[in-house]
């Protein structure tokens, strides 16, 4: 049953224009001039009221990762330096990642490699392992990384021949959904097959990954992330695109479908229904773009509109809707399931959006069918100066409370945390300068995710492609 604008306006009036709804899940604020800015000393990283974060970041003599006192990191894979089991070089451009419990105490990670276009464009593409290739012309894919209790690391290909594998999502049954953030069709940029799909990768069963099959029922567009609602069965998917801005999608499985390993392969290309979101405020007014929200705690009602042609045979999916039919947002990127709903990132908004910002994180509550603004980053006036955060991308829900966010902005790049009440704190800073001394450049962080036991925070530096394991005195963060 859809949630009508009239229903949402009536419910909002009863609860005080959304105040009770927003308060039920808390509000995060992480921005210059936002609620959290007075709580954190930008120079030291210390919490002015005590108890939040881990203190100032200490420069790394090896020039890779600045961390708080008591923390340390280990390089797990490094493109150009480490090798796969096959003897081939670890592919570059690490992106979305998730962890899984492996056999005999091992940790398994599936690591996306965001490599766009022909293989000849990249020094270290994902190797074309026999039986695991979708399109032999494409450079991207995933590797599976095994970290054993004794510290030994092994890596192998999970899928190859896909394009621009950016984010994705972990499934409740222990597999990884890798998403192509590129929708080139066969014959474009040298591709031999259509792209813009989601693929499933099983870290525990190499045989299950043979003969990769695109999950076309999720649609063909510039995918970013996907999460699965373990209770209701819906999949939620983000699209990173502009002209016009991208959409948030919901896929509803066919009636009677039972999730599990390998079950997606049996579904038809048009199985279930794919819909795009449409938001309206507490007054029942349609919201054309999420950048309109300028206050933490803003709550929108959400309805869902059927996608006419999910495979975008002639017209891109986001262009199949006229103004007023759907809500849009710039750079809908990272997403993570937690607290009974989906945390969803809009990384920034500029001239292509009604209002500019340097990042939003929303929380979609499927029970209430509401979208609540949890994090709002004001436009960073000088990204080259350490202190402010901008450009959230990959995110994860922390076992110690709140969120951990990977920064993909301009200038200085961080991993940072945000508590449930809105205080922020730095966790790490990228110190690997891939530019020059005169014009330094620091790659984005990606693939932020905790080990299943919560003891290790894994994260990637996308360029050149480094997977890092961070350990230290993790603690429960105060609200």
Note the pLDDT tens digit of each residue in 148-172. Answer: 999 999 999 999 999 999 999 999 9
**Low-confidence residues of the chain: pLDDT under 50:** 1-2, 4-6, 8-10, 12-49
41 CB-contact burial (10 Å; exposed 0-12 / middle 13-18 / buried 19+): middle
List Cα–Cα distances, 135 to 79, 155, 184, 194, in angstroms.
Answer: 22, 21, 12, 9
* Among the listed residues 314, 348, 387, 309, the one whose alpha carbon sits nearest the alpha carbon of residue 39: 387
Sheet with 94-101, strands from edge to edge, namely 94-101, 107-113, 140-147, 153-162
CB 469 within 8 A of CB 456: yes
Query: Would you list the DSSP string of 214-245?
Result: --GGG-SS-EEEEEE-TTT--EEEEE--TTTT
pLDDT at 419: 82
Q: Please, what is the end-to-end C-alpha distance for the chain in angstroms?
A: 36
* Among the listed residues 171, 13, 178, 34, the one whose alpha carbon sits nearest the alpha carbon of residue 95: 178
* Among the listed residues 369, 375, 387, 298, the one whose alpha carbon sits nearest the alpha carbon of residue 334: 375
- Coarse DSSP helix, strand, coil percentages of the chain, rounded to the nearest 5 percent: 10, 35, 55
Which residues touch 292 (CB under 8 Å, ≥6 apart)?
Answer: 354, 355
DSSP, collapsed to helix, strand or coil, labels residue 435 as: coil
pLDDT at 49: 42
CB 297 within 8 A of CB 27: yes
d(Cα 379, Cα 359) in Å, to the nearest integer? 8
pLDDT at 388: 85
261 CB-contact burial (10 Å; exposed 0-12 / middle 13-18 / buried 19+): middle
Which residues touch 326 (CB under 8 Å, ≥6 apart)?
Answer: 247, 276, 277, 278, 305
Backbone region of residue 152 per phi and psi (left: phi > 0; alpha: psi in -120 to 50; beta: other values): beta
Phi, psi dihedrals of residue 265, rounded to the nearest 5°: -60, -25
- pTM, to two decimals: 0.91
Residue 353: count of CB within 10 angstroms of its CB: 21
Angle at 418 between CA 416 and CA 420, to 5 degrees: 165
Which residues touch 24 (CB under 8 Å, ≥6 apart)?
Answer: none
Instruction: Look over the chain and give the mean of its residue pLDDT values, rounded to a whole number.
Output: 90
For residue 392, what are the β-bridge partners? 407
d(Cα 227, Cα 234) in Å, to the nearest integer? 8
Cis status, amide bond into 221, omega within 30 of 0: no
């Amino acid at each position: 049953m859809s949630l009508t604008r009239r229903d949402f306006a009536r419910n909002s009036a009863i609860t005080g224009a959304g105040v009770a709804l927003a308060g039920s899940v808390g509000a995060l604020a992480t921005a210059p001039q936002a609620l959290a800015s007075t709580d954190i000393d930008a120079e030291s990283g210390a919490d002015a009221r005590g108890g939040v974060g881990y203190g100032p970041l200490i420069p790394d003599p090896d020039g890779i990762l600045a961390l708080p006192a008591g923390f340390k990191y280990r390089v797990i894979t490094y493109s150009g330096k480490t090798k796969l089991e096959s003897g081939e070089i670890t592919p570059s451009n690490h992106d979305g990642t998730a962890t899984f419990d492996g056999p005999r105490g091992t940790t398994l990670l599936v690591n996306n490699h965001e490599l766009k276009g022909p293989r000849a464009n990249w020094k270290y593409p994902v190797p074309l392992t026999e039986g695991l290739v979708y399109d032999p012309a494409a450079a991207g894919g995933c590797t599976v990384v095994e970290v054993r209790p004794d510290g030994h690391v092994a890596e192998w290909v999970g899928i190859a021949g896909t394009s621009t594998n950016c984010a994705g999502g972990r499934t409740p049954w222990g597999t990884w959904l890798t998403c192509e953030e590129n929708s080139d069709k066969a014959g474009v940029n040298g591709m031999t097959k259509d792209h813009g799909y989601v693929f499933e990768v099983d870290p525990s069963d190499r045989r299950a990954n043979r003969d990769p099959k695109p999950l076309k029922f999720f649609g063909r567009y510039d995918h970013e992330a996907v999460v699965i609602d373990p209770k209701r069965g819906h999949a939620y998917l983000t699209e990173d695109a502009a002209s016009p801005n991208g959409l948030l999608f919901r896929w509803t499985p066919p009636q009677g479908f039972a999730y599990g390993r390998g079950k997606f392969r049996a579904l038809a290309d048009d199985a279930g229904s794919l819909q795009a979101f449409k938001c309206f405020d507490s007054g029942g007014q349609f919201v054309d773009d999420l950048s309109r929200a300028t206050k933490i705690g803003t709550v929108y009602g959400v309805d869902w509109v059927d996608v006419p042609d999910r495979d975008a045979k002639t017209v891109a999916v986001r262009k199949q809707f006229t103004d007023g039919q759907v809500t849009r947002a710039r750079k809908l990127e990272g997403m993570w399931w937690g607290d009974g709903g989906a945390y969803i990132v809009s990384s920034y908004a500029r001239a292509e959006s009604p209002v500019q910002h340097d990042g939003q994180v929303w929380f979609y509550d499927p029970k209430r069918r509401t979208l609540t603004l949890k994090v709002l980053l004001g436009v960073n006036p000088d990204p080259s100066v350490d202190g402010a955060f901008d450009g959230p991308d990959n995110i994860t829900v922390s076992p110690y409370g709140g969120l951990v966010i990977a920064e993909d902005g301009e200038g200085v790049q961080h991993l940072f945390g945000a508590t449930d009440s809105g205080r922020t704190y730095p966790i790490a800073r990228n110190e690997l300068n891939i530019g020059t001394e005169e014009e330094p450049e620091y790659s984005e962080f990606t693939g932020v995710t905790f080990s299943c036991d919560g003891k290790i925070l894994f994260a990637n530096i996308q360029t050149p492609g480094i997977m890092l394991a961070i350990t230290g005195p993790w603690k429960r963060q105060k609200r």
